[in-house]
């Protein structure tokens, strides 16, 4: 039977860092004698917010110490803020907690998004007190996972989130005209014209290729240094969806201890705000799609921090919500071992433009077929319509929405299957291999997987982008030879979805998804300083020589 304690508070406690900077922490303790396991949450968004305070008090009620700390340079903490440089501060804080009389020497970390980043960044430093983690909705590779997915700048989240966190306290961005602000060129000056001067924005623009700047904060290179197990939490419509699986696999397969290799993951039909509503975008996934993630997290902490044998590590390490059927299912690995990897090829008679075109999608290999053409005009880009976005849903909605308005554009190629005679489950990472040419020295290629119902409703599942100059390497970009055919491999994200009987699969191919991603100006100039735009004539091939296809992780039926 759980004992419930009253709560004692110690507010604005100064925690010294190795360079003398002091960070502010609010500490919530069970009001009883003894030493306690500690849950640490570090935040740039103020430790004096109702959700964090309520969570800290709940934890203290059941016998945990809880430390809520403002990150360096934010709110009541000293120093200068610079995002994703949190490893040493996290380690120093853990060492300080471990030396306190109210600490029993075991620390768990909790929180999502940036509050998840601080967990991963501290873990490779291997404080002997860090016992487990519970990161939600975050990546470990900030180049591919956040700033430059597929080599394209993830404009919306970086601009809106960056402007909110550029100073010591929170900043309102609700009164900007974002339709105009996100079109500012050159992109290097976008922050200034929107009223800010962001040092980290300038640095990101100056490092468009993967280099030492990104290597220094890539925790995917340090799996073997991490000994603390992680309970990962993610959503199919979160911007970090595929990276949540990468973090799960990173520790399961390469973690530096037996405990780390017992890490787990839960993924629901959620956007960045996990399990906040049964409805995501247009779709109501049902009350059973909701999970009490704090209760799951508490079981994790009880096992690792209180050594309560509640059986959690004997359960399947992967729990997935399979959309379409709208059911939860336990799995043991990712991708699923029983996956039937199927190539579904692009076909047309040369007129796949719009959903009314003649583009089709089916497993048969292409024969001699006409290629498809469109003009990508960066002054009139394809608009983002839901998807894996963050963090301002009033600016760009997130989640599943009807894509038919997008699919009526001439610069969107649509390849659609016949109605399915039986349900088809697609669960896993999605990849498109595209053979294409452009008359520009650089351009972008986008791909989106869509579930089309018998009514015609076109629900987006996942999407991706690849900047052409990074087709061979994110570290060593090379421009295109105009009108030469290249092979592009586009990571389209992850999904877990059953296409029900009578539904159709659709693949969209285009060259922009704005303002989720910045517009490629098609000039081939150095990134960030270009105010010029030019149109690009694009050609997509599907033939015996150039078999463009989508690789689907099909899960056999029972």
**Nearest of 154, 156, 152, 189 to residue 442 by alpha carbon:** 152
> Quick one: angle between helices 199-206 and 155-164, nearest 10?
150
The rounded distance, in Å, linking the Cα atoms of 39 and 41 is 7
Specify the residue for token string 């999605």.
430
Contacts of 546 (CB under 8 A, 6+ apart): 435, 485
Half-sphere exposure of 38 (CA within 13 A, CB side): 30
Query: For this structure, is 549 an active site residue?
Result: no
Q: Which two tokens stand for residue 192?
A: 């200034």
Please compute Rg for the chain using Cα positions: 24
Query: Strand pairing partners for 402?
Result: 459
Phi-psi region of 94 (alpha: psi -120 to 50; beta: other; left: phi over 0): alpha
Query: For this structure, is 113 an active site residue?
Result: yes
The rounded distance, in Å, linking the Cα atoms of 392 and 173 is 10
Query: Of the residues 70, 92, 238, 518, which is catalytic?
Result: 238
The rounded distance, in Å, linking the Cα atoms of 60 and 92 is 23
C-alpha angle 205-209-215 in degrees, rounded to nearest 5: 100
Ranges assigned E (strand) in 116-260: 130-136, 231-235
The rounded distance, in Å, linking the Cα atoms of 534 and 308 is 63
In this structure, are residues 108 and 179 in contact, taking their beta carbons and an 8 Å threshold? no
The rounded distance, in Å, linking the Cα atoms of 336 and 327 is 17
Contacts of 134 (CB under 8 A, 6+ apart): 108, 109, 110, 111, 119, 230, 231, 233, 297, 300, 301
The rounded distance, in Å, linking the Cα atoms of 228 and 557 is 36
Query: Of the residues 243, 272, 503, 542, which is catalytic?
Result: 272
The rounded distance, in Å, linking the Cα atoms of 115 and 134 is 10
DSSP, collapsed to helix, strand or coil, labels residue 511 as coil
Query: Of the residues 113, 188, 348, 511, which is catalytic?
Result: 113
For residue 128, count other CB atoms closer than 10 A to its CB: 12
The rounded distance, in Å, linking the Cα atoms of 158 and 152 is 12
**Nearest of 116, 120, 87 to residue 17 by alpha carbon:** 87
Query: For this structure, is 238 an active site residue?
Result: yes
Which letter does DSSP use for residue 164 in this model? H
C-alpha angle 116-300-93 in degrees, rounded to nearest 5: 45
Query: Strand pairing partners for 297?
Result: none
In this structure, are residues 269 and 280 in contact, taking their beta carbons and an 8 Å threshold? yes
Active-site positions read 113, 238, 272
């Amino acid at each position: 039977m759980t004992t419930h304690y009253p709560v004692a508070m110690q507010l604005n406690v100064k925690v010294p860092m190795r360079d003398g900077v002091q960070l502010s922490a609010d500490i919530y303790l069970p009001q009883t004698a003894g030493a306690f396991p500690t849950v640490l949450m570090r935040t740039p968004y103020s430790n004096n917010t109702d959700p964090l305070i309520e969570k800290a008090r709940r934890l203290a009620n059941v016998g945990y110490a809880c430390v809520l700390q403002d990150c360096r340079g934010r709110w009541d903490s000293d120093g200068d803020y610079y995002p994703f440089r949190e490893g040493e501060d996290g380690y120093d804080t853990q060492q300080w907690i471990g030396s306190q009389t109210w600490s029993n020497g075991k620390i768990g970390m909790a929180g999502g998004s940036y509050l998840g980043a601080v967990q991963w960044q501290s873990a490779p430093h291997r404080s002997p007190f860090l016992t487990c983690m519970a990161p939600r909705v975050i990546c470990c590779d900030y180049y591919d996972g956040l700033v430059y997915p597929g080599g394209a700048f993830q404009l919306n989240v970086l601009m809106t989130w960056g402007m909110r966190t550029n100073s010591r306290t929170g900043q309102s961005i609700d009164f900007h005209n974002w339709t105009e602000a996100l079109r500012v060129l050159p992109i290097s000056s976008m922050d200034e014209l929107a009223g800010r001067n962001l040092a980290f924005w300038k640095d990101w623009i100056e490092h468009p290729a993967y280099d030492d700047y990104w290597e220094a904060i890539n925790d995917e290179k340090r799996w073997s240094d991490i000994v603390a197990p992680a309970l990962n939490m993610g959503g199919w419509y979160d911007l970090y969806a595929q990276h949540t699986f990468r973090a799960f696999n990173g520790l399961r397969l390469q973690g530096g201890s037996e405990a780390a290799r017992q890490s787990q993951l839960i993924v629901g039909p959620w956007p960045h705000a996990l399990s906040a509503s049964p409805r995501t975008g247009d779709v109501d996934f049902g009350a059973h799609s909701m999970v009490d993630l704090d209760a799951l997290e508490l079981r994790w902490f009880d096992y690792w921090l209180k050594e309560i044998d509640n059986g959690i590590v004997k359960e399947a390490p992967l729990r997935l919500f399979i959309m379409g059927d709208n059911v939860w299912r336990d799995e043991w690995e990712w991708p699923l071992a029983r996956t039937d990897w199927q190539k579904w090829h692009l076909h047309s008679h040369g007129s796949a433009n719009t959903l009314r075109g003649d583009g089709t999608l089916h497993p048969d290999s292409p024969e001699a077929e006409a290629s498809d053409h469109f003009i990508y005009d960066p002054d009139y880009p394809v608009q983002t319509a839901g998807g894996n976005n963050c963090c301002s849903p009033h600016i760009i909605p997130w989640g599943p929405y009807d894509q038919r308005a997008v699919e009526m554009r001439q610069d969107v190629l649509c390849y659609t299957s016949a109605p399915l005679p039986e349900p088809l489950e697609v669960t896993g990472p999605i990849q498109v291999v595209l053979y294409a040419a452009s008359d520009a020295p650089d351009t972008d290629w986008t791909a989106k997987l869509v579930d089309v119902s018998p009514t015609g409703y076109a629900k987006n599942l996942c999407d991706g982008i690849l900047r052409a100059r990074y087709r061979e390497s994110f570290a060593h970009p090379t421009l295109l030879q105009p009108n030469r055919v290249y092979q592009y491999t586009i990571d389209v994200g992850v999904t877990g979805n059953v296409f029900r009987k009578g539904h159709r699969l659709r693949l969209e191919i285009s060259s922009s998804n704005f303002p989720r991603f910045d517009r490629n100006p098609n000039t081939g100039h150095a990134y960030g300083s270009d105010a010029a735009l030019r149109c690009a004539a694009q050609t997509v091939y599907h033939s015996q020589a150039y078999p463009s296809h989508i690789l689907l992780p099909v899960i056999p039926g029972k």
